């Protein structure tokens, strides 16, 4: 290290020493050293730059003369890529030299000279070159907004910054290409906080929201799900998992925080022992709620809580848990294990649910009898006055159902669910019927077995269904469709008879992934109760237009046509003639005319049929605008059989029923022809012929004779 005399204190000065990298046309990686003194020093004759490879250890120096800046390469002739240098400056005069300045640390990195591209192409004008869109970002160079979320690709790249290739909602789509990056059901262009999941409810206690939801994709590896919700004591309810990979197992969670959690699919231990633990990508819905009791504006009560429990090596240990809320009736209950303290696969089962309590127990696979470590369990218990409602958050209309399922797939809320046993102790997988709680809220679907009729361990699995049923009121409700369609045709069954006021089912806004439905009472009832209608149930199915030959010899035809007017009969021809007279089912697809209206059919033949619109009798002379009607025509030689729609195999039955204004037996139900009273008080109606279709637990009915001229519609109730 060099030695030098110190400048006397009376003339001591400090040096400010800087590294300034800059680029010039001829040198794209020059680095400049710059220094100054606090006060002018007349007798300074020059400066030295000292440097070394350790802090404070300056083994070399270069005299740069009486200048206040120089290029680093003139001090260190050979800069090594990746090497760190420590530098300090001193000033000297004829008699002495200053102390070292503040130290500067510099790590050298070779910067390649830029290639000037004078032919950069940005075909869609989104601010990103075509080459970058194709080779770097994966966006479409011909579309300004590749994911159609209302934000251009360039603006979205700036929005996400370094997180452009992150996957906040864990759906296997990066933020830049995801139209709903946080998975809250709101497109990024419409979302005030696209990086934070919008709450599905708020309360006075939690005005910013206390619940978020989404759908996540995951496999056997831990997958992080980010909500940025900022909860204090979050409870996560997840599942059931999809059925993309048929290997049995369950959802496991860990590392739950106020803003995120981790999820994976864990196969049973006996499969891991066979080296089969790898699992394909599954999907599942989830809710995250702030722990506590939440009283909602629609009268429902949502309680989220946690408790700890473990498993015994000798017997099943049922733990009794008491609700914090005082529920007016038995709530719907859902449970999810929150931790992964024990690596062995485990499920949580529940039984004996009352207004005050429930019992829960952990179950490992049958062949393992060594107990289970303490795990944290999360639960959600919900009381709702009518099985349906809407919270004051985003995408928050919900439907609950109490149903049953066994080891065979059964339709429920647009999904098919089954109880899937494991095979660690034996090969049989049949499971008796268990009671199921199910919840559809927005696009999220949850289900929980709530009985203990069969003791073998199982997990619930689900897959999309082209048919199902839903609860409807006089308000529009968006029905999520688990499958994605290009040109969907929706066929709706007749409404139930929970509320005796007459009316019809109406649809609107049919898209590839959802449709809206409501029960619309006849207009003359508006003065009675403003058209308010109690909860009804109705089945639905969704199919693409086309002709579907089935293995059982049946032919299913699906299509649409448009008609207008009142009582004006139109001829509708099938795309392909049937071998015999088919069963026909019609549903209006549009809501162009706001007046309640029903579509009726007659004169069905192998070639086609006639259809007409009927408003209530008092306004039949007023006409009705054009509406699009969807039809399903099924020719079945045996009026029953099995059909495969997509990857779903279903059993179906067709019947012809003669029904009047009195309830008549029909396929485990009772149906009747219901007149309205806009013109007169009588509601007697002559016998009409009705086609009925049952697909497992779904029911459809269409009047096809039109023998009576008065406006009428089919209603049903379950047979006693």
- What is the distance, to the nearest Å, from the Cα of residue 594 to the centroid of all Cα atoms in its chain? 32
Question: What is the per-residue pLDDT across 682-701, written as a single tens digit (0 to 9) for each?
Answer: 999 999 999 999 998 899 99
Whether 8 has a pLDDT exceeding 70, the answer reads no
Nearest Cα to Cα of residue 262 among 340, 177, 374: 340
Segment 608-616 shows an average pLDDT of: 97
Query: Is 113 part of a structural domain of the chain?
Result: no
Nearest Cα to Cα of residue 662 among 679, 680, 687: 687
Position 472 confidence tier, pLDDT thresholds 50, 70, 90:
very high
CA distances, 79 to each of 73, 109, 114 (Å): 7, 9, 20
Task: Give the residue with greater pLDDT, 145 vs 37.
Answer: 145
Quote the CA–CA distance of 533 and 539 in Å, as a whole number.
18
**Which residues neighbour 689 within 8 Å (Cβ) at sequence distance 6 or greater?**
656, 657, 658, 703, 704, 705, 707
The DSSP-derived string for 247-308 is S-EEEEEE---SSEEEEEEEE-HHHHHTT------EEEEEEEEESEEEE-TTS-EEEEEEEE
Cβ contact 597:583 at 8 Å: no
- What is the distance, to the nearest Å, from the Cα of residue 430 to the centroid of all Cα atoms in its chain? 31
Whether 5 has a pLDDT exceeding 80, the answer reads no
Task: Give the residue with greater pLDDT, 119 vs 69.
Answer: 69
Query: Is 201 part of a structural domain of the chain?
Result: no
Q: Which helix (H) or strand (E) holds 659?
A: strand 648-659
**The domain that contains 534 carries what CATH number?**
2.60.40.2080
Range name among 274-283, 321-330, 502-511, 704-713 with the lowest pLDDT average: 274-283
Segment 494-502 shows an average pLDDT of: 96
Name the domain boundary from 464, 487, 508: 464
Token couple for 223: 């997958």
Quote the CA–CA distance of 341 and 64 in Å, as a whole number.
65
Range name among 250-264, 265-279, 481-495 with the lowest pLDDT average: 265-279
Segment 657-667 shows an average pLDDT of: 96
Name the domain boundary from 436, 464, 492: 464
Position 12 confidence tier, pLDDT thresholds 50, 70, 90:
very low
Token couple for 282: 């599954």
Token pair 């809206």 is found at 516
Going by the DSSP 8-state scheme, the letter that residue 494 receives in this structure is P
Name the domain boundary from 75, 107, 139: 107
The domain tally of the chain equals 4
Predicted local confidence at residue 575, as pLDDT: 94
Whether 567 has a pLDDT exceeding 60, the answer reads yes
Position 78 confidence tier, pLDDT thresholds 50, 70, 90:
confident
Q: Which helix (H) or strand (E) holds 74?
A: helix 72-75
Buried b (16+ CB within 10 A) or exposed e, 589-621: bbbebebbbbbbbbebeeebbbbbbbbbbbbbe
Token couple for 508: 């609107």
377 lies in the same domain as 518:
no
CA distances, 420 to each of 363, 444, 461 (Å): 14, 21, 7
Cβ contact 494:716 at 8 Å: yes
Question: What is the per-residue pLDDT across 269-295, written as a single tens digit (0 to 9) for each?
Answer: 999 888 877 999 999 999 999 999 999
221 lies in the same domain as 330:
yes
Quote the CA–CA distance of 288 and 284 in Å, as a whole number.
13
639 lies in the same domain as 694:
yes
Token couple for 307: 């408790």
The most confident of the ranges 136-140, 272-276, 374-378, 411-415 is: 374-378
Quote the CA–CA distance of 70 and 75 in Å, as a whole number.
8
643 lies in the same domain as 669:
yes
Position 111 confidence tier, pLDDT thresholds 50, 70, 90:
low
Query: Which of helix, strand or coil describes residue 682?
Result: coil
Segment 25-38 shows an average pLDDT of: 61
Query: Is 4 part of a structural domain of the chain?
Result: no
Cβ contact 361:277 at 8 Å: no
Question: CA torsion sign, 466 to 467 to 468 to 470?
Answer: positive
Q: How far apart are the first and last CA of the chain?
A: 103
25 lies in the same domain as 136:
no
Position 191 confidence tier, pLDDT thresholds 50, 70, 90:
confident
Quote the CA–CA distance of 399 and 401 in Å, as a whole number.
7
Segment 362-372 shows an average pLDDT of: 93
Query: Is 117 part of a structural domain of the chain?
Result: no
Predicted local confidence at residue 17, as pLDDT: 55
Position 192 confidence tier, pLDDT thresholds 50, 70, 90:
low
187 lies in the same domain as 241:
no
Token couple for 38: 């606090």
602 lies in the same domain as 518:
yes
Predicted local confidence at residue 25, as pLDDT: 38
Maximum pairwise Cα distance, the chain: 124
Burial status of residue 658 (CB atoms within 10 A of its CB: 0-12, 13-18, 19 or more): exposed
Residue 586 pairs in a beta bridge with 631
Q: Which helix (H) or strand (E) holds 402?
A: strand 397-405
Range name among 251-260, 328-337, 599-608, 639-648 with the lowest pLDDT average: 639-648
100 lies in the same domain as 130:
no
Position 41 confidence tier, pLDDT thresholds 50, 70, 90:
low
Query: Is 1 part of a structural domain of the chain?
Result: no
Q: Which helix (H) or strand (E) holds 349?
A: strand 347-351
Cβ contact 518:534 at 8 Å: no
Whether 60 has a pLDDT exceeding 50, the answer reads yes
**Which residues neighbour 720 within 8 Å (Cβ) at sequence distance 6 or greater?**
none
Describe the strand order of the beta sheet including 249-254 as a list of residue ranges.
Answer: 223-226, 260-267, 249-254
Buried b (16+ CB within 10 A) or exposed e, 117-134: eeeeebebebebbbebbe
Cβ contact 172:281 at 8 Å: yes
Quote the CA–CA distance of 406 and 431 in Å, as a whole number.
6
Nearest Cα to Cα of residue 37 among 105, 104, 103, 101: 101
Segment 532-544 shows an average pLDDT of: 95
Peptide bond into 92 cis (omega under 30): no
Mean residue pLDDT across the chain: 89
Query: Is 2 part of a structural domain of the chain?
Result: no
64 lies in the same domain as 141:
no
446 lies in the same domain as 380:
yes
Q: What φ, ψ does residue 617 adopt, rounded to 5°? A: -60, -35
Quote the CA–CA distance of 618 and 359 in Å, as a whole number.
57
Nearest Cα to Cα of residue 649 among 550, 578, 547, 514: 550
Residues in the chain: 720
Whether 246 has a pLDDT exceeding 60, the answer reads yes
Q: What φ, ψ does residue 123 adopt, rounded to 5°? A: -60, -40
Predicted local confidence at residue 30, as pLDDT: 64
Describe the strand order of the beta sheet including 301-311 as a list of residue ranges.
Answer: 292-295, 301-311, 372-383, 332-337
User: What is the SS3 string spanning 508-523?
Assistant: ECCCCCEEEEEEEECH
Neighbours of 234 (CB within 10 A): 25
Predicted local confidence at residue 37, as pLDDT: 63
Q: Which helix (H) or strand (E) holds 17?
A: strand 15-22
Whether 657 has a pLDDT exceeding 90, the answer reads yes
Quote the CA–CA distance of 178 and 182 in Å, as a whole number.
9
CA dihedral 176, 178, 180, 182 (to 10 degrees): -70
Question: CA torsion sign, 142 to 147 to 148 to 154?
Answer: negative
Quote the CA–CA distance of 374 and 319 in Å, as a whole number.
13
Segment 231-243 shows an average pLDDT of: 97
Segment 519-524 shows an average pLDDT of: 95
Whether 678 has a pLDDT exceeding 80, the answer reads yes
510 lies in the same domain as 557:
yes
Predicted local confidence at residue 583, as pLDDT: 98
Cβ contact 126:152 at 8 Å: yes
157 lies in the same domain as 217:
no
Predicted local confidence at residue 113, as pLDDT: 55
Position 708 confidence tier, pLDDT thresholds 50, 70, 90:
very high
Query: Is 532 part of a structural domain of the chain?
Result: yes
Question: What is the per-residue pLDDT across 352-365, written as a single tens digit (0 to 9) for each?
Answer: 999 999 999 999 99
Domain containing 243 equals 211-464
Whether 508 has a pLDDT exceeding 80, the answer reads yes
Task: Give the residue with greater pLDDT, 23 vs 505.
Answer: 505
Position 21 confidence tier, pLDDT thresholds 50, 70, 90:
very low
Segment 20-32 shows an average pLDDT of: 51
Burial status of residue 166 (CB atoms within 10 A of its CB: 0-12, 13-18, 19 or more): middle
The DSSP-derived string for 146-211 is TT-SSS-HHHHHHHHGGGTT--TT-SSS-GGG-TTTT-SSS-TTT-S-TTSPPPSB--SS-TT-SE
Question: What is the per-residue pLDDT across 206-223, written as a single tens digit (0 to 9) for each?
Answer: 998 999 999 999 999 999
Nearest Cα to Cα of residue 210 among 285, 296, 289, 293: 289
Token couple for 590: 């549009």
Whether 717 has a pLDDT exceeding 70, the answer reads yes
User: What is the SS3 string spanning 39-106?
Assistant: CCCCCCCEEEEEEECECCECCEEEEEECCCEEEHHHHCCCCCCCCEEEEEEEEECCCCECCCCCCEEE
Token pair 């400056």 is found at 89
Quote the CA–CA distance of 683 and 710 in Å, as a whole number.
9
Token pair 């059925």 is found at 243
Range name among 144-153, 286-295, 633-642 with the lowest pLDDT average: 144-153
**The domain that contains 30 carries what CATH number?**
2.60.40.10
């Amino acid at each position: 290290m060099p030695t030098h005399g110190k400048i006397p204190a009376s003339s001591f000065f400090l040096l400010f020493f800087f590294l300034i990298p800059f680029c010039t046309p001829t040198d794209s990686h020059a680095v400049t050293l710059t220094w100054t003194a606090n006060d002018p020093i007349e007798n300074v004759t020059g400066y030295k730059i000292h440097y070394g490879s350790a802090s404070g250890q300056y083994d070399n120096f270069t005299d740069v003369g009486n200048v206040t800046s120089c290029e680093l390469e003139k001090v260190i002739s050979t800069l090594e890529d990746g090497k760190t240098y420590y530098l300090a400056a001193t000033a000297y005069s004829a008699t002495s030299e200053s102390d070292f300045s503040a130290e500067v640390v510099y790590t050298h990195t070779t910067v390649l000279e830029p290639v000037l591209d004078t032919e950069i192409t940005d075909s869609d004008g989104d601010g990103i070159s075509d080459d970058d869109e194709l080779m770097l970002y994966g966006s479409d160079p011909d579309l300004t907004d590749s994911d159609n979320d209302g934000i251009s690709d360039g603006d979205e790249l700036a929005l996400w910054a370094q997180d452009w290739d992150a996957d906040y909602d864990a759906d296997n789509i990066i933020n830049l290409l995801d139209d709903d990056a946080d998975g809250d059901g709101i497109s990024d262009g419409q979302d005030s906080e696209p990086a934070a999941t919008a709450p599905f409810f708020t309360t006075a206690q939690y005005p910013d929201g206390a619940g978020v939801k989404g759908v996540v994709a995951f496999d056997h590896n831990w997958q992080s799900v980010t909500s940025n919700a900022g909860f204090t004591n979050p409870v996560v309810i997840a599942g059931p998992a999809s059925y993309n990979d048929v290997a049995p197992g369950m959802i496991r969670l860990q590392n739950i925080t106020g803003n995120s959690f981790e999820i994976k699919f864990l196969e049973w231990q006996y499969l891991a022992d066979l080296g089969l633990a790898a699992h394909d990508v599954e999907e599942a819905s989830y809710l995250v709620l702030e722990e506590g009791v939440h009283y909602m504006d629609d009268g429902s009560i949502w309680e989220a809580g946690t408790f700890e429990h473990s498993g015994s090596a000798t017997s099943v240990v049922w733990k009794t848990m008491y609700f914090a809320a005082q529920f007016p009736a038995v709530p719907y209950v859902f449970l999810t294990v929150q931790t992964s303290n024990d690596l062995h696969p485990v499920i949580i089962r529940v039984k004996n649910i009352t207004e005050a309590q429930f019992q829960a127990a952990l179950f490992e696979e049958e062949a393992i009898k060594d107990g289970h470590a303490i795990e944290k369990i999360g639960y959600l218990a919900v009381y709702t006055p009518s099985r349906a409602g809407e919270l004051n958050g985003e995408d928050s209309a919900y439907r609950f159902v109490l149903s049953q399922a066994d080891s065979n797939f059964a339709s429920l809320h647009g999904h098919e669910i089954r109880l899937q046993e494991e095979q660690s102790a034996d090969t049989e997988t049949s499971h008796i019927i268990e009671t199921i709680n199910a919840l559809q809220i927005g696009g999220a679907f949850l289900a929980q077995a709530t009985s203990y009729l069969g003791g073998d361990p199982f997990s619930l699995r689900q897959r999309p269904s082209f048919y199902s049923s839903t609860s409807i009121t006089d308000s529009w409700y968006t029905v999520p469709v688990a499958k994605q369609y290009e040109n969907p045709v929706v066929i709706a069954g007749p409404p139930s008879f929970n509320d005796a006021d007459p009316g019809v089912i109406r649809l609107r806004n049919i898209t590839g992934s959802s449709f809206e439905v409501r029960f619309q009472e006849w207009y003359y009832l508006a003065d009675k109760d403003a058209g308010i209608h109690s909860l009804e149930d109705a089945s639905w199915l969704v199919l693409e237009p086309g002709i579907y030959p089935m293995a059982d010899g049946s032919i299913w035809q699906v299509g649409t046509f448009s008609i207008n007017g009142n009582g004006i009969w139109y001829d509708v021809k099938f795309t392909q003639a049937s071998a015999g007279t088919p069963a026909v089912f019609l549903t209006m697809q549009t809501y162009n005319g706001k007046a309640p209206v029903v579509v009726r059919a007659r004169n069905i033949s192998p070639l086609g049929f006639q259809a007409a619109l009927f408003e209530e009798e008092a306004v039949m002379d007023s006409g009705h605008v054009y509406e699009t009607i969807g039809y399903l025509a099924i020719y079945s030689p045996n009026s029953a059989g099995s059909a495969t729609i997509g990857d779903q195999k279903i059993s179906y039955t067709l019947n012809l029923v003669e029904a009047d204004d009195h309830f008549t037996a029909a396929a485990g139900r009772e149906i009747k022809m219901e007149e309205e009273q806009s013109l007169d008080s009588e509601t007697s109606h002559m016998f009409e012929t009705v086609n009925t279709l049952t697909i497992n637990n779904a029911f459809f009915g269409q009047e096809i004779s039109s023998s009576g001229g008065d406006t009428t519609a089919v209603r049903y109730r379950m047979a006693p």
